[in-house]
Structure 1
């Protein structure tokens, strides 16, 4: 069954099956939070380790681009994997790939091999998001989806923050970070392996269908394109830029570990509001806030660390909030049997932007300096805000009861 046309609505789980227990939903959320701890540490570790070894910042940018390239492949291949083995087994397979990626990074600072290792990580983490999101979207109703997806993303970002902060506690020249990443990824398999959450039936549509996803929800797809570029630009290049500006390992760790606080503060309230109004209003507000925060980041760039921490907290929180809001908005308009295909398509849009934009930023940084990522992020947020406002004028919302 193909992804449903935009004017069709998804069947509410409450109409066909009892609601899933909160503890069962929490098992999927907990697994992703555990994965995030290792992921956050590796995100912070790689650019700082490369800087400590004397490599040019361009290498760190290429590694971010490689990660996103792997994500594109993950979006294409995860759907067929889920259709073949189911959600739980697919989750375990993808977690094993992250373990392998971290092991390769732990072998030593070899930029070319790290590009391949992070591409494998990108493949696996995009696959994990597809599995987790489609699983959760299958068991929650439209009326609470915004809150559930916000809670899911808050838990993931909280895990990232724990991982970021761990950077200050490790020996940057040792293999501590990859080993910690391996340990937390292995732990993440346990909640999913023990969950009693009912698995969705094998999806009838499992391939990427970006055009159909656009017909269902242009704002949802555009939101993923925007947040993919914003997320990979801010989280990927903030440590590169901070290291190039001369901030210490502890300063970079503090900045990165503080950034997820903005998501923790903004994500759940925005999700709650979006369940009670047109989600597009909330998306427009989040993107406008991201644009303003980016302007402040530009104005205070290179200044006092305390000011930068506050600005980056708001900037990252507003930008990352677009992810769950756009995902929930698109799922409101999809059919129950098409959640895997929709999740694959949305993550493909995220990864496509996350692949293209870091490549652009890497090229601009080589010419104009590492500050270029701030300008790019501002442009993305402004463009998406204008697009959402145009869609609000052009199209009516989907009622929450549908």
Structure 2
């Protein structure tokens, strides 16, 4: 395995540096914004700006790479991300931070797509599945480490704006110094709502709801934790532990979804998330340990939903359409991610901290009701027709290149098997 890792080690290092910087950047902004007196709705708009930029990056990065190449495009993305975080330090107002956050989202999506396409090209066919798993774990560890670094210094100063900028610049070095040939053109994204709806209504409604819930929590969880008086270390854990729990929970939940009706598993996970929503709304817990336990349970539920939905949609898709379906659902997830922080920020400003969980509770109720209705209307997919469950990076939207890289191992396993789409859409 070590021999297979050597060709992609530089790319994994570049991705780790990128995610390390992104982890710091994503947490310092809501914490510092709250310290500067920004309203909850303004802080929510930071998440909306990020989602807008991320979706735009998934759309336009393939065109940019086609014009200037992978190395130059990646360098531009990393450089602009560094400039954006430094400008956030110089311009401490929410109305400058929102477009700067959109710039970061655009650059982050573009850089991730380039790294992932490069990994897919460099990795040998027999090890791509393991490479994807390692890539996911490296990113998860780097992002969490970046968030926890904030506990080691003063968040009212400049250090946690300068450090991410430094690491964004370091992230471009492995690709810039690479002497290998550049990979094939990137996967283009096309959003066809009617085709997605015909393929799986549950996937369309579900991914929108999950986008609302996950983006709201990802953007404003630190604001909520800070607002109820938790210490900075606990705030960082409140934001990072759910992502770790979501990564771990995908193993047993994915196993279940491969053996049961994925819609039933999705409902069960959504019920767990709704139960935690209700506890936060009704009890408003204040103790450190209870908040961390509840946040971990919440992350274990919400960050496992997206890969279930993608797997369910791919169960109904033709074998050669899996990446297009995943890419289209990514765009819908992005639309939900644009709306979620906006609704949650307004809810927190009018109702207090519980407004965050009231927003996600509404999304989870809709998801449960609609999925239950579809179970009554359509039979489940036969187990023989199911695609493999592929874990997704918890706490971060995927890119079309993630789907291409993640599907490589299952493509190799099934290359000699004839696959036909199920006649019934879920």
- TM-score of Structure 1 vs Structure 2, range by shorter chain: 0.7 to 0.9
Per-residue displacement from partner, 1:30-77 (whole Å, max 9, x unpaired)? 544432222222222112212222333333123222222323422432
Across the aligned residues of Structure 1 and Structure 2, the Cα RMSD in angstroms comes to 3.8
With normalisation by structure 2, the TM-score equals: 0.74
Which residue of the partner structure matches residue 157 of structure 1? 140
Structure 1 residues 96 and 136: alpha-carbon distance in aligned structure 2, compared to 1, 3 A threshold: same
With normalisation by structure 1, the TM-score equals: 0.78
- 1:178 paired with 2:161, answer yes
The structure, 1 or 2, with the larger RCO (C-alpha pairs under 8 Å, 6+ apart) is 1
C-alpha contact 2:189 2:328 (8 A) present in aligned 1: no
Shift of 1:117: 0.7
C-alpha contact 1:266 1:321 (8 A) present in aligned 2: yes
Match of residue 249, structure 1, among 201, 221, 232: 232
Match of residue 289, structure 2, among 289, 293, 306: 306
In 2, Cα distance between equivalents of 1:214 and 1:129: 28
Is there any run of 5+ residues in structure 2 with no aligned partner, and where?
Answer: 388-413, 420-426
Which residue of the partner structure matches residue 64 of structure 1? 47
- 1:212 paired with 2:195, answer yes
Is there any run of 5+ residues in structure 1 with no aligned partner, and where?
Answer: 1-19
Structure 1 residues 185 and 216: alpha-carbon distance in aligned structure 2, compared to 1, 3 A threshold: farther
Shift of 1:126: 3.5
Shift of 1:120: 0.8
Match of residue 64, structure 2, among 73, 81, 92: 81
C-alpha contact 1:84 1:202 (8 A) present in aligned 2: no
Shift of 1:361: 1.9
In 2, Cα distance between equivalents of 1:386 and 1:197: 50
Shift of 1:173: 1.9
- 1:396 paired with 2:366, answer no
In 1, Cα distance between equivalents of 2:254 and 2:359: 26
> What are the residue-to-residue correspondences of 1:3-402 with 2, within 5 Å?
31-84=14-67, 90-128=73-111, 130=113, 152-190=135-173, 194=178, 199-201=183-185, 203=187, 206-274=189-257, 279-330=262-313, 333=317, 336=320, 339=323, 342=325, 344-392=327-375, 393-394=378-379, 396=381, 398-400=385-387, 401=414, 402=419
In 1, Cα distance between equivalents of 2:274 and 2:237: 23
Aligned residue pairs: how many? 381
In 2, Cα distance between equivalents of 1:139 and 1:77: 23
In 1, Cα distance between equivalents of 2:313 and 2:128: 11
Moved more, 78-87 or 380-389: 78-87
C-alpha contact 2:228 2:286 (8 A) present in aligned 1: no
Shift of 1:308: 0.5
